[in-house]
Amino acid sequence: MAQGCLKCLKYTMCFANLLIFICGVAVLGFGVYMMVNFKLAALTPTLASFNFANMLLVCGIVITCVSFLGFLGALKENRCLLLTFFLLLFILMLVELTVACLLLMYEGEIGRLVKEDLTKGLEKARGSNSTSEWDLVQETLDCCGVENVTDWLPNIPRSCYTSGWGSSKPEYRKQGCLLMLKNLFEENFLTTGISVIVLCIIEVLGMCFAMTLFCHISRSGLGYKL
């Protein structure tokens, strides 16, 4: 009975890690696509290394590597790989909780930094007459400039207009992109929090499965020795 449960645990862990590995490859591919097609560094030049595409790329690499370790460790009943998988999950969970706490504690400071960087990005785009990245954001979020349309004066890009482009009475998008980004974050705050909690639960389950399998292998003398 115990052997049957442990075999079930082993193959469940293999199947779960395989699914997570496939998801990690998808995230990695989407991150590469975003990096190639959307040069978001023009929006936030100072925070360019922390843009959405780079974060997807890093997350994809981490997910694929960790899930591959878990899959291979369970399949081969390798104690070294299982222990490494356990430690990596534990470190990832600590990092996620630390980042979540820092975002809550320094929300105002982060908002100020984002505003300053968006302003620098807008000034750079205005000086180079290349606003394609800003056009994408302004049309997607229905916003204009950092605070409002006056940030673009005297050369207002077409993406700021709602109607009347080229006429004497044009109409512009009323909200600034900073406010729209803040609203977007607040609207998805609960979803993000629930996602972090679910992710931590999955990581705790993964650690429990890995340690249970590790202890069984140690008691039975199977698998590779450390």
pTM above 0.85, yes or no: no
Distance CA 209, CA 207 (A): 5
Q: Per DSSP, what are the bridge partners of residue 191?
A: none
What topology is assigned to 2-220 in CATH?
Cd81 Antigen, Extracellular Domain; Chain: A (1.10.1450)
**Residue 115 DSSP SS3:** helix
Distance CA 69, CA 75 (A): 10
Distance CA 113, CA 51 (A): 14
Given the structure tokens 């140690």, which residue do they identify?
218
pLDDT by residue for the chain (226 residues), tens only, comes to 556 777 888 888 999 999 999 999 998 888 888 777 765 555 655 555 556 777 888 888 999 999 999 999 988 888 899 999 999 999 999 998 888 888 878 878 888 888 888 888 888 877 776 667 788 888 888 889 889 888 888 888 888 888 777 677 788 888 888 888 888 888 887 888 888 888 889 889 999 989 988 888 877 655 444 4
Token pair recorded at residue 65: 């590597």
Token pair recorded at residue 77: 């009943």
Query: How many CA within 13 A on the CB side of residue 17?
Result: 28
Token pair recorded at residue 60: 């994809």
Domain locations in the chain as residue ranges: 2-220
